[in-house]
Chain A
Amino acid sequence: MTESLHADVSIIGGGIVGACAALFLRRHGLSVVLLERGLCGAAASGVNYGGVRTQGRAIVQLPLSMRARALWARLPELIGIDGEYVQSGHLKLARSEADLGRLEAYRDEVGAHGLALQIVGGSAFRRAYPWLSEQAIAGSFCAGDGHANPRLVSPAFARAARAAGARIVEHCAITELAATGSGFVVGDGRSVSVQSRWLLNCAGAWALDIAERFGDSAPMTSIHPGMAVTESVPRFMDVNVGVEGGGIYGRQTARGNCVMGGSRGTANGALYGVPTARAIGELCDRMAALFPPLAHAHVIRFWSGVEGSLPDHQPVIGPSPTTPQLIHAFGFCGAGFQIGPAVGEALADLVHRGRSQVALDAFSITRFTSPASTSTGAH
């Protein structure tokens, strides 16, 4: 028996962006139905590294990221739990003089946009971070960054949205999707069908299927970042660590487990990712080489996920050029966790007031070729 629902806004996708949008829409007094294929916050939003990081983002993302910081600071008020969020600071390492040069250039560039970074090198660096190997020669420290537990945070956004009056429907795979004269109809063809004025496409790595139904497109592919976690080891790392040039990033949780990333996996069906053994081996080598305290540690779990990636490393956020009242937010290229809450808030603003507090022009889907262009599609 199909339940027929009416709402101001339908949201496809219950990750951190969709769920947060639902929460803020409810705060604006709008009615919301969110449809999630599986369980909210179980895809990329729930299995990512957990970095809550502004440092390293392109200038164009700084306004969103700085706005997100203010939301992260209020996390317990928003979602009822602390999500193990800690403002540990983010340390981006230089492994060469050339790396250091790039970190210094970035520091200078973002300083003018309100992001203060401190670069430490030489003996001061060694004294401050004795647990790093000789591979690291200097680091850029961003005090306002940190990390959190995505497994707790992302589902909690959905629960908060539900508690605020959003209708959240899980185990709901979209089969019915169309623009009507006055809005949209979305449903799974068996249990629920929703008519709404607005539609938010927050379907993550699978968002192209939704976008293309309306003639919108983007050259999004799927990536599968490989992750590893160690057994609990005595605490030695008190900052969230990344490296200039990429390849490894790591953090240590309050319980002592070290979460590490920096490898690539492959798809495991359409919904899951799995790290390859080769990638795991490389990640382990890098972990051992950079973090001497982990020399004898054991990895107890590897995993990956499915993340949408776009060639310019920026997400798509903003209204559809073809379909009124359709808004897209997808393709976060592995960096959607920290800005996710700000994106959700911006989507709610777009619906409620017609504009967002933060400028989103740089993320318009129109920056790619015309809507008629082919996309490689998420897979």
Chain B
Amino acid sequence: MSTKQVVIVGAGPAGMRAAEQLVAAGQRPVVIDEGARHGGQIYRQPPAVLQRDRRDLYGFEAARASAVLDRFDALRPQIDYRPQTLAWQIEAGTLQLLHAGRNHALPFDALILAPGATDRVLPFPGWTLPGVYTLGAAQVALKHQGCLIGPRVVFAGTGPLLYLVAWQYATHGGQVAAVLDTAPASAKWLAAPRLLARPAVAAKGAYFVARLRMMGVALHGGVTLLKADGNERVRTLSWRAAGGGTHTTGCDAIGFGHGLRSETQLADLAGCAFAYDALEQAWLPTRDAAGRSSVRGVYLAGDGASILGADAAELSGARAALAALEDLGLSPAEPGHAAQIERELQAHVKFRRGLETAFAPPSSWAADAPDDLIVCRCEEVSAGELRACARETGTREVNRLKALTRIGMGRCQGRMCAPAASRLLAHTAGCALHEVGRLRGQAPIKPIPIAMLQEQPPSRQVAEDQDD
């Protein structure tokens, strides 16, 4: 049995299940994990010293979390697991890795990208104040560090995560000052039939809402977020109710987000083709039902390919691994198993459509954003500057906007500002969101130290003094 070098980036549910399939086929996959322990974000494991109970950490998902986390643990001896390792570039058939200050090139025969997702951010003035975090951050603080982002928190934005995190805080000693959903209540009813594609999950969502109400937490829908205020840290969040009145809610912290956005930088560097997904309102790497990208030998799984949630990630991770094995000629074709996975994924896709309908990001966000709103928090570029540039230069393309205004040129490479900047550009230019294109990915996908130790001796110096 030949051994090929199959590399998985990401140790969340997709990466873990992909590794499992590869081990089952007699392979020793390499799993690259930026985190310190496997689990990804949703099943993030705190440092052992926190001695957290799994029911406490993962609530209703405790059994699922345990199943996949423990399985990976059991398989550890058969996996080349590399935690605290950043994959920062891909060149033909090689992944560049940074670990403990050392640079290392890892060739691969097959690459499964399962890097997950972050919150989609549509900001409001004051969002850069200390005390304002994403919904994901509010969860990480609680799960990973045993902290709340503040004793009294306003949760805002939209998406199922909004209610889950608010409920988690309310049941862990946090005071939830309000839950402000920008999506109108009616949207959830419109989506109801699709949401029933996964009745257990839909029921959990309804459960969180009901419990929060019973605990006396103020829940509002159809809200427009206006401004976070405070001197050196956030003190209040002002918002407009669906009915029109303006309110100001006192708080020590805000957790907000408008759904999730896939981390696609590595797929971009790998040369994958992208297409605009109208449902997610984002550019995603194209893939077939098995997770094959447009690049031979590169596979896409989990929320990093398309937001479908943790359960779907387990399925798509396994499916991608089966595709990689098949393409490498390493396992007898088992159409039954792969086809079964693809069938199960259908229910998730349908549910996803329902969620996006129920929790669509506010379509008026770009029109409502005031000129003094900082859109790019890395480079401190305002909505007014973006609009002025688009108007004065006739720019209708987001990479040109980046070149002229600096949005997306900071450390985060547009992760936090691209959704907002793209919407502002499209709105100002009077075109559809997809027409402004997407930010072109550039290595390193995250900042790397100049002092990074190289593994090769330097090549003979070439006279290049004419370049400048």
Contacts and interface: CB of A to CB of B under 8 A. Distances in A.
Interface stretch (A12-20, A204-212, A292-300, A359-367): A292-300
B363 interface: no
Contacts of B468: 49, 51, 53, 56, 240, 242, 249, 261, 334-335
Interface in A260-287: 261-264, 274-278, 280-282, 284-285, 287
Interface residues of A, number: 52
B464 A246 contact: yes
A301 B409 contact: yes
B399 to A, nearest CB: 8
A298 B393 contact: no
A231 B450 CA distance: 11
B96 interface: yes
Contact of B103 (A275, A281, A302): A281
Contacts of A244: 465
Contacts of A295: 450-451
A278 B455 CA distance: 9
A42 interface: yes
Contacts of B2: none
A335 B450 contact: no
Contacts of B91: 276-277
B444 interface: yes
Interface string A231-275: 100000000101111110100000000000111100000000011
B67 to A, nearest CB: 38
Interface size class for chain B?
35 or more
A101 to B, nearest CB: 16
B109 interface: no
Among A51, A288, A300, residue most surrounded by chain B Cβ atoms (within 10 Å): A300
B449 interface: yes
B442 interface: yes
Interface string B392-406: 010001011001100
B452 A155 contact: no
A94 B367 CA distance: 56
A93 to B, nearest CB: 11
Contacts of A274: 443
Given A300-B410, A301-B442, A285 B458 contact: yes
A327 interface: no
B450 A288 contact: yes
B214 interface: no
Contacts of B217: none
Nearest to B456: A278
B48 to A, nearest CB: 30
**Which among A39, A56, A262, A298 has the greatest number of chain B C-beta atoms within 10 A?**
A298
Contact of A298 (B443, B449, B459): B449
A145 to B, nearest CB: 10
Most chain A beta-carbon neighbours within 10 Å: one of B393, B403, B463:
B403
B5 interface: no
A312 to B, nearest CB: 11
B466 interface: yes
A46 interface: yes
A125 to B, nearest CB: 19
Contacts of A287: 450
Interface string A30-68: 000000000100100010010101001000000000000
B199 interface: no
Contacts of B450: 230, 284, 287-288, 294-299
B447 interface: yes
B444 A313 contact: no
A335 B466 contact: yes
Interface string A293-319: 011111111110000000001000000
A71 to B, nearest CB: 19
B105 A39 contact: no
A231 B458 contact: no
A303 B461 contact: no
A108 to B, nearest CB: 18
Nearest to B403: A151
B462 A155 contact: no
Contacts of A242: 465, 468
A301 B413 contact: yes
Nearest to A162: B394
Nearest to A284: B450
A15 B383 CA distance: 29
A55 to B, nearest CB: 10
Contacts of A174: none
Nearest to A269: B271
Interface string B418-455: 00000000000000000000000011100111111010
A264 B467 CA distance: 10
Nearest to A159: B393
A225 interface: yes
Contacts of B458: 282, 285
22 contacts: A56-B465, A155-B404, A230-B450, A245-B465, A246-B463, A249-B468, A264-B462, A277-B89, A277-B96, A284-B450, A284-B452, A285-B454, A296-B451, A297-B450, A298-B448, A299-B444, A300-B410, A302-B442, A303-B442, A334-B466, A335-B466, A335-B467
Given A152-B404, A245-B465, A247-B462, 8 more contacts: A225-B467, A264-B464, A276-B91, A284-B452, A288-B450, A298-B411, A299-B448, A302-B443
Interface of B: 89, 91, 94, 96, 103, 105, 393, 397, 399-400, 403-404, 409-411, 413, 442-444, 447-452, 454, 456, 458-459, 461-468
